[in-house]
Amino acid sequence: MASSLQTKPTFPENAATKEYAASLDAADPLRAFRDKFIIPSKANIASKKLAKPGLSPEPCIYFCGNSLGIQPKATVKYIEAQLDTWSSIGVAGHFTDLEDSPLRQWQLLSEQAAASMSKLVGAAPEEVAAMGTLTANLHILLASFYKPTATRHKILMDWKAFPSDHYAIESHIAWHGFDPKQSMVLIGPDEGDYEISTQKILSYIDQHAEDAALILLPGIQYYTGQWFDMPKITEHAHSRNLVVGWDLAHAYANVDVKLHDWNVDFAAWCTYKYGNAGPGAIGGIFVHERHGVVDYSEGEDAPKFRHRLTGWYAGDRSVRFKMDNKFKPIPGAGGFQLSNPSAIDLTALCAALSVFDETSIAEIRKKSVLITAYLEHLLLKDTSDETRPFQIITPSNPNFRGAQLSLLLKPGYLGKVSQRLQDAAIVCDKREPDVVRVAPAPLYNTFTEVLNFVEEFKAALAS
C-alpha cells in the first residue's frame, strides 16, 4: 500500500506508437541512470561461453529485475577497491579508512550499507542491519519475535507464500512443539480471484485474535505482484496484540515503504532483485527501535534487551574486542547480527546502494507507477476480456502493486510465448503452469522497451 496514494496515469490514443514511447523516455527524469548499469547484450544472453560485457552493443530487453537485477557499473570499481585494500594492508583493513576508497573500514562497512538501505525502507539507520540472507534472517527474527504460548501459538501467513517463508514458519512452529497443520493459518483469496482483499486479512486477524501470536506476510506477493496494505494490516494486528513481520523480498527498492512510521515490528529482505546487489547477495533486516533498546539501568554488567540468538558481531564495538564473554548488544538492529559479515558481499551491496543514493525511493516509485501503467495500458489496448487469451492477475490499482505485472495465460500458451520472447532477446520469467511475470525496473528500463515487449508478446499470442 503506497505511503501516499497514487493516481493511475492515463494515456492518449497514440500511446502505442514509437514516437509516443520515445517522448516518455525523453521526459524521464531518471533516464541517465540507465547508463549506470551493464545491460546484457543480445549476443551474450544467447551465448554459452563466458563473455565480457559490451561484446555486442545491442542490449537485450531485461524485465527480470524481480528475480535478479542487472549489474551496476559501480560494482567492478567497488570490488577492485576492496581487493586492493585486502592486498595492500591485510588485517588493517578492519580498522583503516583509506583515502580515495568508496568504502569504510571493514568494521564499519555493514553500517555504511545500513545507512543507505534505511532510506529505501523508511527507517532510521539504527533500525536496519546488513546481514545474512533472507531465509536465515527470517529464522533469526522468528527466534526472537515468535513467542508462542499454549493458547496463542498460531502464525497467520499468505496462502501462496514463497517456500522460504513457508519452511521457516513451519520449522519454528514445530521447534516449539506445536503442529504446523494446526498452527499455520493460510489466508487466501476468494474462489476464482487472485487478489486477497485487505478486509479479508483483517477478518482473519479478528478471527484468530485469541489464538495467534504473529502475522508474517510478504510486502509484495511474489506470484501475483499484489502489494498488501502494510500500514492498515500492521495497525489492526497490533490492536489485537499480534506481532507483525513483513518479508520485503519483492518490495525492497521497489515501492516506498515506511517501516518505522508504520510501526512494523520486524522485516527482512534480499537485495539481489530490484536492489541489484548480485546473486545471493547479503540481505537486510529491520527491527523497530522499541525492540532494539538496551537498558543499563541495573548496571553496565547487567544489560537488559529483547531476547534473540546472539553472536559476537552483535556486540557493541566499544567492548567487542575485550573478549570477556559479557554480551552487550549494539542498540537497534545491529544487535541482531551474528557473525563477521563478508566484506566482499558488503562491497557489492554498497556499490549498488551508491546508485540508489543518487536518487530517492520516492522518485523511483514515481516512474514505476507510470511505466507499469503504460505496460498495462498497452497490454489491454484493442482487446476485450472475452477475446484476450491472458489475464493480468496483479491489481490494477497502482497503490496495490509495484513494478511487476503477472500475466496468467490460457492453457497451452506459455511455451510458445516464452520461446518468442527468448528469440527476441526479451528476458522475463515464468511461473508454471501459465504465468509470465514482467517487471520494468525504473532505473534502467525504458518506455520504448515496454512497447517492444508488448508487440512481441501479442505477436506470440496470435501465432
Same domain, 33 and 114: no
Residue 423: the pLDDT is 94
What's 308's domain CATH number? 3.40.640.10
Cα separation, 329 vs 342, whole angstroms: 20
Instruction: Find out whether 20 is annotated in a ligand binding site.
Output: no
Tell me, yes or no, whether 364 lies in a domain: yes
Residue 385: the pLDDT is 85
Determine the average pLDDT of the residues in 34-54: 87
pLDDT at 321 over 90: no
pLDDT at 57 over 80: no
How many other CB atoms are found less than 10 A from the CB of residue 192?
A: 5
Closest CA to 73 of 91, 55, 54, 92: 54
What count of Cα atoms within 13 Å lies in the side-chain half-sphere of residue 165?
26
The domain boundary residue, chosen from 305, 325, 354:
354
Query: Rounded to two decimals, what is the model's pTM?
Result: 0.96
Phi-psi region of 146 (alpha: psi -120 to 50; beta: other; left: phi over 0): beta
Same domain, 161 and 243: yes
Closest CA to 54 of 28, 77, 35: 35
Q: Pick the range with the lowest mean pLDDT from 21-25, 30-34, 83-87, 318-322.
A: 318-322
Instruction: Find out whether 246 is annotated in a ligand binding site.
Output: no
Residue 107's Cβ-count burial label (10 Å; 0-12, 13-18, 19+) is middle
Same domain, 269 and 414: no
The domain boundary residue, chosen from 354, 377, 410:
354
Tell me, yes or no, whether 291 lies in a domain: yes
DSSP string for 256-316:
---TTTTT-SEEEE-SSSTT---TT---EEEE-GGGS--B-TT-TT--B-------GGGB-
Determine the average pLDDT of the residues in 304-330: 89
The mean pLDDT value of the chain amounts to 95
- pLDDT confidence tier of residue 4, bands split at 50, 70 and 90: low
Tell me, yes or no, whether 38 lies in a domain: yes
Same domain, 412 and 428: yes
Instruction: Find out whether 400 is annotated in a ligand binding site.
Output: no
Q: Tens digits of per-residue pLDDT, 401-423?
A: 999 999 999 999 999 999 999 99
Same domain, 245 and 324: yes
Residue 294: the pLDDT is 96
Residue 277: the pLDDT is 98
Same domain, 320 and 370: no
Number of structural domains in the chain:
2
The domain boundary residue, chosen from 354, 384, 401:
354
Q: Tens digits of per-residue pLDDT, 260-271?
A: 999 999 999 999
Same domain, 259 and 309: yes
Q: Tens digits of per-residue pLDDT, 432-453?
A: 889 999 999 999 999 999 999 9
Same domain, 45 and 127: no
Please report, as a single letter, which amino acid is at residue 411.
P
Instruction: Find out whether 103 is annotated in a ligand binding site.
Output: no
Q: Show the domain range for 267.
A: 108-354
Residue 463: the pLDDT is 87
Tell me, yes or no, whether 160 lies in a domain: yes
Instruction: Find out whether 271 is annotated in a ligand binding site.
Output: no
Residue 1: the pLDDT is 61
* SS3 state at 18: helix
Tell me, yes or no, whether 191 lies in a domain: yes
Q: Tens digits of per-residue pLDDT, 347-372?
A: 999 999 999 999 999 999 999 999 99
Instruction: Find out whether 241 is annotated in a ligand binding site.
Output: no
Instruction: Find out whether 190 is annotated in a ligand binding site.
Output: no
Cα separation, 133 vs 54, whole angstroms: 31
Instruction: Find out whether 135 is annotated in a ligand binding site.
Output: yes
Same domain, 375 and 433: yes
Residue 54: the pLDDT is 56
pLDDT at 229 over 60: yes
Same domain, 41 and 127: no
Same domain, 169 and 303: yes
Instruction: Find out whether 276 is annotated in a ligand binding site.
Output: no
Q: Tens digits of per-residue pLDDT, 179-190?
A: 999 999 999 999
pLDDT at 2 over 80: no
Same domain, 34 and 137: no
Residue 347: the pLDDT is 98
Residue 170: the pLDDT is 96
Tell me, yes or no, whether 126 lies in a domain: yes
What's 425's domain CATH number? 3.90.1150.10
Q: What percent of the chain has pLDDT over 90?
A: 88
Cα separation, 215 vs 197, whole angstroms: 16
Residue 3: the pLDDT is 55
Instruction: Decide which of 312 and 374 is more confident.
Output: 374
Tell me, yes or no, whether 2 lies in a domain: no
Instruction: Find out whether 44 is annotated in a ligand binding site.
Output: no
Tell me, yes or no, whether 5 lies in a domain: no
DSSP string for 161-181:
--HHHHHHHHHHHHHTT--HH
Q: Using an 8 Å Cβ cutoff, are 341 and 107 in contact?
A: no
Place of cell 519452511: 167
